[in-house]
Amino acid sequence: MNRSSYWLVLGLSIPAFIWLVPTLWMVSLSFQPNEVLARTTSSTFFGLIPLPFTWDNYAALFSFGQTPWWFLNSVIVAVGMTLGVLFVSTTAGYVLARMEFPFKRTIMVMCLIGLMVPEQAVFIPLYTMFADFGWHNSYHALILPRMAVPIGVFLMMQFFRAIPKDIEEAARLDGVTWLRIFWYVMLPLARPAMMTLAILTFLYAWNDYLWPLVSAQQREYFTITLGLASIQSNFAQSEGLGRVMASGVIASLPVVILFLIFQRYVVQAMTVGGSKG
């Protein structure tokens, strides 16, 4: 490392630290006793160092309260949505990339138009629809409306288009059916794109707020994102600041860990999703 880049790193460390402070503060508060926090939030170095230290907030979260249950709901919804989106997007993406059939262009154009409809513009009709079906307060109500994502189809379509045709054509000459080619030849090749799409969907599902807020009115069906919103408005009175912060940390752990492990895919997903979606 030469001198100038040494200074650059040093100079950037300060804003980076400031950027990290809010998150650090949340983590630090979650390890401090509620009685202390009720008095002051800046015990040691503005509260950024968790002294006095306690595990009680986390212990309390798991012994009573609904946080573990909400966490589980989030896992179910996020995993369910991810699998659903993968299934729907890979099949449709493959068909649009490789097969010829009547009305193909119409469907592509329809997908493009679908990209323009924001969820905020359809959440009211979706609500009345699901109410008619009597579907609210269930896992499928939280999962299904998010499965029809044209962006996933486009992502997979672009990936399949980039795969050389030879492999498939050899298989076709041997008389292998389309479904088998898709399942045994194309899907294994598509793993990197599927990873990207899966992570994008999981992050989205975990952090989704508006639709769960509208659809899940019973606390048993809250996701962790929604549950956290329901306890934060009265954090000071009932729950204790330390415990609410501990919930926040628990709610963020899966996505942060996922991000740290699969950083490359997340960045790729954001780039593709961002510039195309």
Partner 1 sequence: MASRSRLTQTQAAWLMLAPFLATYALFLIYPFFRGIWISLHDWNLLAVAFNPDAKEFVGIRNYERVMWGKNITWSLFNAPVWQALGLIGLGLSVFLRRMNRLSRFNAIALAIVSALLVFLPGFHPGEGGRWYDRRFWPTVGNTLTFVAFAVPGVTISALLLAAALNRETRAMSILRTLFFISQVLSVTVVTLIWQIMFSPRQGLIANITETFGGTPINWLTDQQFAMAAIVIATVWWSLGIAMILFLAGLQDISQDIYEAAVLDNAKGVRAFWYITLPNLTRTISVVVILQIILHFQVFGQPHLMTQGGPNDATQVLVRYIYQTGFRDSELGRASAMAVFLFLIMGSFSIIQFVVGREKD
Q: Which of 60, 75, 76, 147 binds partner 1 (CB under 8 A)?
A: 147
CB 250 within 8 A of CB 67: yes
CA distance 166 to 172: 10
- 92 vs 198, beta carbon nearer partner 1: 92
Query: Per CB under 8 A, does 153 bind partner 1?
Result: yes
Query: 166: Cβ–Cβ under 8 A, 6 or more apart, which residues?
Result: none
Which two structure tokens, joined as six digits, stand for 242?
């330390």
Query: Per CB under 8 A, does 148 bind partner 1?
Result: yes
Query: Per CB under 8 A, does 173 bind partner 1?
Result: no
Query: Per CB under 8 A, does 73 bind partner 1?
Result: no
Query: Per CB under 8 A, does 182 bind partner 1?
Result: yes
Q: What are phi and psi of 146, to 5 degrees?
A: -95, 5
In whole angstroms, the minimum distance from the beta carbon of 63 to partner 1 comes to: 21
In Å, how far are 27, 46, 57, 240, 264 from 61, measured between CA atoms?
15, 25, 6, 11, 33
Query: Per CB under 8 A, does 242 bind partner 1?
Result: no
Query: Per CB under 8 A, does 159 bind partner 1?
Result: no
CA distance 255 to 83: 17
Residues in the chain: 277
Q: Find tokens 């008389």 and name the residue.
A: 175
Interface of this chain with partner 1, residues 24 to 63, rule: CB under 8 A: 25-26, 29, 37, 41-42, 46-47
Query: Per CB under 8 A, does 163 bind partner 1?
Result: no
Query: Per CB under 8 A, does 107 bind partner 1?
Result: yes
Interface of this chain with partner 1, residues 77 to 96, rule: CB under 8 A: 84, 87-89, 91-92, 94-96
Query: Per CB under 8 A, does 263 bind partner 1?
Result: yes
CB 115 within 8 A of CB 151: yes
DSSP-based three-state secondary structure for 177: coil
Query: Per CB under 8 A, does 19 bind partner 1?
Result: yes
Query: Per CB under 8 A, does 179 bind partner 1?
Result: yes
The single-letter DSSP state of residue 221 is: G
In whole angstroms, the minimum distance from the beta carbon of 186 to partner 1 comes to: 11
Query: Per CB under 8 A, does 22 bind partner 1?
Result: yes
| # residues near partner 1 by CB under 8 A | 100
